[in-house]
Every structure is written in C-alpha cells, then in structure tokens.
Amino acid sequence: MARRKAFVHIGLPGTGGAFLGAELAHHADELREQGVCTPSRSTHEMFRAALEMRRDHKVWGYRRRDVEGVWAGICRRAFKEKGAVVVSHDLLAACTTPQIALLLDGLAGLEVHVVVTAQDPATQVVTGWADTVDTGSAASFGRFRRRIMDPTREHEQAQQFWAAQALDEVLERWGAAVRDPRHVHVVPLPADTADPRPAIWRAVGELAGFDAAALPLVASGPSITLDGAGTSVLREVNDAIDGRLGARDRAMVSEFLPREAVTPVRASVPADLYDDLLEVAERWTKQIADGGYDVLGATSDLLPERPADDAQVPDHHPVEERLARTTDALADVLVEVARLREHAADLEERNAKLEKKKRKLKRRLADATLGPLAE
C-alpha cells in the first residue's frame, strides 16, 4: 500500500508563494472532499510553527511558550485525517539541517515532498533589501548589496539572506533530508506574468492531487506593499528611530506609510551587479539540472534580465516622491494621534467616574460596618 504523501512548501521568501497558507485554510473543506488534508488551522498558526522550527521566535517578539508544541499539534491533526497533507510557510526555506530533521520527524511515516518556489536572484536581492527595511533596517541598498555579495558572508544580513535565498543551498539541504531528489519540486516564478499566484496554485494542485481550477483564489490578493519611494522613506525613518522600538512596535512604523496592491515584477539592479547575479542564477540552474529535482516550469525564468546602463539604484528616488510619501504619512500619523488623544480622554473620564463610584461605595461600606458597632 502506497504511503500517504506530505507536501511542505518552504518558500523561497518573496517569490509569490506566501498566499498559499491563506488559500489552503480557506478551502480546507473543499480540499478534504478531494482527499487533501490541510492540518494548519490558520496562517498565524503555521507562522508560529515556523518560528518554533527556526528557533527565532525572539526576533519576532514572541516567547518560547507562544510557539512551543505548535508544529506537533499540526502533525497530530495531519495523522488523524486522510489523504495528502499540504502545509506552507516561506520561513522554512532557511531551516538548518538539524531544524529540517526536527520538522520531518513530526511527519515520520509519510512520504515527504518539498515544494520550492523560486525567481531570479536580481528580484530576490531587491525584495530582500526591501524586506529588511520593512522590519527595521536602516541599511541603504548599496550597503546591503556589499554585505550580501561579500563571498565570506561575514555580516549577519548576508547570512540571513542567503540562508533563505541561496536556491542551490536550500535544495541541497532539503534534498538531502528527504533523500530523493524526485521528491523536491522546483516551481520557477514565470517571468512573463504579472501575478504568479495562479501558476503556483496550479502546480501545488498538480502535485497534491486537487483540482486548482475548481478552487478559485479568494482568500488572498496581490501583495500589499510599499513602493520604492516609500521604502526609501521608511529606511530614513528607521535610521532616525535608531533602535528605540522593539520587534513588534517596528511593524507599526511602516503601517503609516501608504501601501498599495502590487503584483510581482522583475526588479532592476545596477548594471555593475548584473554579471555577479547572472553567475548566481547559472549556478542555481546547474544545481537543478545536476540534482535531478522535479521542475514545474522553465529554469530559464531564473536568469535575471540585463538592466539598462542607466538603471536606477533601488533606493535612489527623486526628493519630490519621497516628500509626497512623507507628507501623506505625517498626515496619517497626526490623524491617528488625534484619535488616540480623544480615546485617551474618554478613558480618563470613564476612569474618573469609576474612581468616584469606588470612593462612594467605600464610604457606604464603612458606614454600614461602623453603624452596628456604634450602637
């Protein structure tokens, strides 16, 4: 009898597959009818499971008890149901070999398959830099580039970036863990589409055995993100904050900058960076070809596009654009401050009334107690 299969989508981060968790949770009942088990109850639960496996909950502002046992709970539900198991979180790509072993231990007895979505390294470098800014970094693109392109990877940002984004190394780690390259499925992000979600959804459906066409994407939309000028402004704000906010409070900072629904597009990098990234991409495609992995798509999509000679550095935006973003953000901050002041005043007024009632009740209680004693 064939073993049940478990499909673990691990990223790569920023490649368009982050929507999978929400869609799997939304379509859980329909997928169950098609013989597919989605044991994670929500994207937040799977996020906490990924933090548990990665052992970096503190970085995200969580306590150990907030994540302890989450993955085990998901696995228990997986074994209680029938059919192919599908879970997804793009933080898993950066798991170390021991962390992968711990994760797979929870799926012991199942035939584990790994699904990796990937795109060209130029887009990944620009997206990776923007993500660090979104989480509090003040490093310019130039500084970020120097750090991650250093062959020694001495800087922490280089180590973190390549742990999740070095496709060849991710495939090597996970491929060794599942022991069969045919169980590692690479889904290159199509270069000629504005929205990669349908292609990724179809690929996962083909692998796990559900009819993706019958389950429309309704739980997620195009990425809501900052544009380039907004990211530049946020970087300067992060520099001014200078580490005075904790991990959870940092997320609040970027909320005041206007975001918009955007679909992934190929990023442009400075011309002098192209050759190095082309070499990276060629190494990736060779690893895929030599490794015998299953590919759903064209590996040529992993090659970066040659930029124009005058390609703009990602964080170089006209001052007018940055001023417009700053003005909009300041207006939103002032409106929010006014709302919070009004709310605080209401709370103070309610608190004062409660204190007054409290004192009155104390006096009545005292009078009621002392009255019989006085007689």
CATH number, domain at 107?
A: 3.40.50.300
- pLDDT tens for the chain, 375 residues: list them: 568 999 999 999 988 899 999 999 999 999 999 999 999 999 999 999 999 999 998 888 889 999 999 999 999 999 999 999 999 999 999 999 999 999 999 999 999 999 999 999 998 998 898 888 887 888 889 899 999 999 999 999 999 999 999 999 999 999 999 999 999 999 998 776 778 899 999 999 999 999 999 999 986 655 556 667 777 777 777 777 777 766 666 666 666 665 554 444 556 778 889 999 999 999 999 999 999 999 999 999 999 988 877 767 777 776 677 777 767 767 776 777 788 888 888 888 888 888 888 888 888 887 777 666 555
Find the domain containing 180 and state its range.
Answer: 5-222+263-317
Distance, CA of 49 to CA of 59 (rounded, Å) = 14
Helix (H) or strand (E) run with residue 365 in it: helix 319-374
- The answer to the question of residue 327 being in a domain is no
107: left (phi over 0), alpha (psi -120 to 50) or beta: alpha
- The answer to the question of residue 252 being in a domain is no
267: left (phi over 0), alpha (psi -120 to 50) or beta: beta
Distance, CA of 361 to CA of 375 (rounded, Å) = 22
Distance, CA of 324 to CA of 227 (rounded, Å) = 12
Q: Which of 52, 57, 98, 97 is nearest to 75 (CA)?
A: 52
Beta bridge partners of 187: 117
Q: Cα–Cα distances in Å, from 218 out to 24, 30, 167?
A: 11, 13, 29
Distance, CA of 299 to CA of 267 (rounded, Å) = 18
Strands 5-9 and 84-88: parallel
pLDDT of residue 36: 96
- The answer to the question of residue 258 being in a domain is no
- The answer to the question of residue 128 being in a domain is yes
pLDDT of residue 366: 79
- The answer to the question of residue 351 being in a domain is no
Which residues have a Cβ under 8 Å from the Cβ of 9 and sit 6 or more positions away? 17, 20, 86, 87, 88, 89, 90, 115, 116, 117, 204
Looking at residue 136, its amino acid is G
Distance, CA of 13 to CA of 196 (rounded, Å) = 14
Q: Are 217 and 19 in contact (CB under 8 A)?
A: yes
Q: At what angle do helices 271-291 and 121-134 cross, to 10 degrees?
A: 110
pLDDT of residue 146: 94
Q: Are 144 and 132 in contact (CB under 8 A)?
A: yes
Q: Are 239 and 139 in contact (CB under 8 A)?
A: no
pLDDT of residue 111: 97
pLDDT of residue 276: 94
- The answer to the question of residue 293 being in a domain is yes
pLDDT of residue 374: 55
Number of domains in the chain: 1
Distance, CA of 259 to CA of 227 (rounded, Å) = 7
pLDDT of residue 263: 46
Tokens of 238: 């992060």
DSSP-H helix ranges across 89-227: 97-105, 121-134, 141-148, 156-165, 167-178, 197-208
HSE of 202, CA atoms in CB hemisphere, 13 A? 11
- The answer to the question of residue 23 being in a domain is yes
- The answer to the question of residue 291 being in a domain is yes
Tokens of 273: 């960076």
Helix (H) or strand (E) run with residue 330 in it: helix 319-374
Strands 260-262 and 223-225: antiparallel
User: Cis (ω within 30 of 0) for the bond into 92?
Assistant: no
